[in-house]
Structure 1
Amino acid sequence: MIRTVWRTGGVTIYRRYIDLHVQGAALDHLIRLKTGHTSGAGNPSVQYLKNFSVIYALSINFSDLLLHEQADSAVVQEVNVHGRKCWRLGAMDEAGIVEHEISFRVHGILSKVDLVPGNIARLRVTNLCQRVELTGLGSESFLQSINKVLVVQDAFRRFFAGQRVSSWNFADEDGHSRFNCTCLYLTKTDGRAAEEVPFGPGVDPLGQLAKFRTSDLVHTAENDMKYFRLAKPEQDSAQPRETFYEAFPASFRKGDIVEVEGTVVAFFSKNGMVKTIFQMNVVTLLDATFSKVRLVFTAFS
């Protein structure tokens, strides 16, 4: 399957890139993500990395996260998902009717990635989710986007005035902010009818999830993640446009540059607090240059 454009919130988007130079401590941090080692004289993986003066696609203009033409008309709307209430942002037309749900996109470097299940305990399966953590390694645009995400959370605070709304946790490690994105593998239906969809290729390679599926615990469209990888055209190529091919979840590794698409969801937790999360539904591999560093490091170790 080839994906040449994105469709987000019913609007076709052509991607834009801004090159970003990552140097010094940020580059050393990226090396640690990929090799588990700090930089040092004679370390071949470090020299290999430092030959790359530019790291692609760490631009996170908020126009990519929340489309400008939708920002002024964004409203919090109640959504019923298999009998369970949650709230999401929708775009409203001139007549005051919510047309569609607003999707968000963010670029960053994978600092943590968990997209394939390992050994699963039955007690954990209802809350088991695919998860990625993004960092900008000090990128100013990444930090600006985090501030913009807080603006989105304020929309929910105004909607749930008088209720306790949990603050978004942007983990800060080694001086760099992180952004967490999740998606449940299975949905609990409590006996309500729900249309099941099959697991995508590579999502459940060992059949760990399939054995826990029941009439009350199903894999629905809400849980269905899509994975793509970017193929950039060669110089003087007959096909000048970038294309996107389907990928396997195991293809994504720490240090990869990715784009994550998803929605902001609010719901009441067991303690009565309103919790907001970023529920992802698409992950695209933009640049796997640093996945190759692990191979280089191993070869010289």
Structure 2
Amino acid sequence: MDPFYDLDAAAIALEQLSIERRERSKQFKDALPHLADIEAGSYSVVESGAARKNWKLCIQEEDEEVATEIVFTLQGVLSKANLVPKQIRDCRPNNIIKLSQYAELSGLGTKLFEDGMANTSIIHDNFAQHFGGGTPVFPWIPATGPTGTIFSANNRLFTLKIDSPTEQSTEFEPGVDPVGMLERLKTRDLFHGPENIVKYFKMSVDDDSGEIKYLPTVPGTFKVGDLVEMQGSFVAIMTTQNQIKVTTRLHALTALDNSLTKAADKGRAAFQAKVVLNQKQVRRKIGYFYEDSEEGQASKKQHTGDDKRMQYH
């Protein structure tokens, strides 16, 4: 993490913000649950109707013909992100299908974030129980970094038509394809569909009323160090080795607070300005010293044409 970034202040702010948003979501019936609040008995693993087999975590609703996928929220410090592909050198379909929007969050050791990680382990175990012992399931091993546990999610930018023959192509979200590079990669067999969409928001709080609004924004809004909220879901897919892998799919990213990132930028700029002010001109001497003898002085005058003790270049 940036040496000018205040990790202690970020941990305090993240803990407070996470608790506030969790409690606020409980006031609304249809609000998305926090990752730590997904109870084991409230969901089931449901096979999707897509051509390529995958299984999703859904709310148990016996009377409903259509299952409702569980989308969770998780707050953290944005530690890494690749939301807009910068350059594509290999345009072969096997490479294009791997292009994705990726975000990585750090919890800085905060309790609610770690509770979410513990629940993620339980969810993965429930996926494994669903498939029994017949099909091996990749174990979930949480990633760690200098600032603690890391949680990541991604969403591919394209879908193969053979995997979802009934889905229709849709436009990219604002800011995802600023120069039209991704649009040109679409083909009859490769499209950007509803399952590939990642939404981007920025939280706005009215100073007088305290009313919270979520305004659409672009991926370029997000910087490493920002406090953000991720919306994601769990999807199990069958790999080419006939093994089950549970992945986390990214659906939305919301900018909550960038004050610490701005403070780090300000501190860095002040430090760099101070370095410039303290810089001094440095002189360099190049040449040869001559002894104060008559032979040395004569040799010096013969070769240099003057009588200085050193030649400067």
Would the TM-score normalized by the shorter structure come out above 0.5?
Answer: yes
Q: Which runs of 5+ in 1 are unaligned?
A: 1-32, 39-44
**Of the candidates 211, 220, 231, which is equivalent to residue 241 of structure 1?**
211
Moved more, 138-147 or 276-285: 138-147
Q: Per residue, is there more helix in 1 or in 2?
A: 2
Measure how far apart 1:293 and its partner are.
2.9
User: Relative to structure 1, is the Cα distance of residues 157 and 51 closer, same or farther in structure 2, using a 3 angstrom cutoff?
Assistant: closer
Number of the residue aligned with 1:296: 266
User: Relative to structure 1, is the Cα distance of residues 52 and 104 closer, same or farther in structure 2, using a 3 angstrom cutoff?
Assistant: closer
Equivalent AA in structure 2 for residue 101 of structure 1: E
Measure how far apart 1:230 and its partner are.
0.6
Number of the residue aligned with 2:141: 169
The Cα offsets for residues 34-53 of structure 1, whole Å up to 9 and x where unpaired, read as x3xx3xxxxxx46x887889
User: 1:131-142 maps to which residues of 2 (within 5 A)?
Assistant: 131-142=102-113
Separation in 1, partners of 2:10, 2:226 = 14
Contact 1:117–1:208 (8 Å) recurs in 2: no
Equivalent AA in structure 1 for residue 194 of structure 2: A
Measure how far apart 1:173 and its partner are.
1.5
Measure how far apart 1:233 and its partner are.
2.2
Say whether residues 1:55 and 2:13 are aligned partners: yes
The structure showing larger relative contact order (alpha-carbon pairs under 8 Å, at least 6 residues apart) is 1
Equivalent AA in structure 2 for residue 76 of structure 1: V
**Of the candidates 41, 44, 50, which is equivalent to residue 75 of structure 1?**
44
Number of the residue aligned with 2:73: 105
Separation in 1, partners of 2:63, 2:166 = 33
Contact 2:46–2:55 (8 Å) recurs in 1: yes
Measure how far apart 1:203 and its partner are.
0.4
Number of the residue aligned with 2:52: 84
Separation in 2, partners of 1:250, 1:50 = 26
Number of the residue aligned with 1:217: 190
Number of the residue aligned with 1:188: 160
Separation in 2, partners of 1:145, 1:127 = 27
Secondary structure at the counterpart of residue 265 of structure 2: helix
Contact 2:202–2:255 (8 Å) recurs in 1: yes
Equivalent pairs, count:
254
Measure how far apart 1:291 and its partner are.
2.6
The Cα offsets for residues 105-148 of structure 1, whole Å up to 9 and x where unpaired, read as 11111110111111012142111110011111111221121010
Secondary structure at the counterpart of residue 202 of structure 2: strand
Equivalent AA in structure 1 for residue 117 of structure 2: I
Q: Per residue, is there more strand in 1 or in 2?
A: 1
Number of the residue aligned with 2:277: none
TM-score, normalization by structure 2: 0.74
Which structure: larger Rg? 2
Separation in 1, partners of 2:223, 2:213 = 21
Separation in 2, partners of 1:97, 1:224 = 25
Measure how far apart 1:189 and its partner are.
1.5
Q: Which runs of 5+ in 2 are unaligned?
A: 23-31, 273-313
Measure how far apart 1:257 and its partner are.
0.8
User: Relative to structure 1, is the Cα distance of residues 98 and 71 closer, same or farther in structure 2, using a 3 angstrom cutoff?
Assistant: farther
Measure how far apart 1:58 and its partner are.
3.7
Separation in 2, partners of 1:187, 1:158 = 29
Say whether residues 1:126 and 2:97 are aligned partners: yes
Report sequence identity in percent. Answer: 28
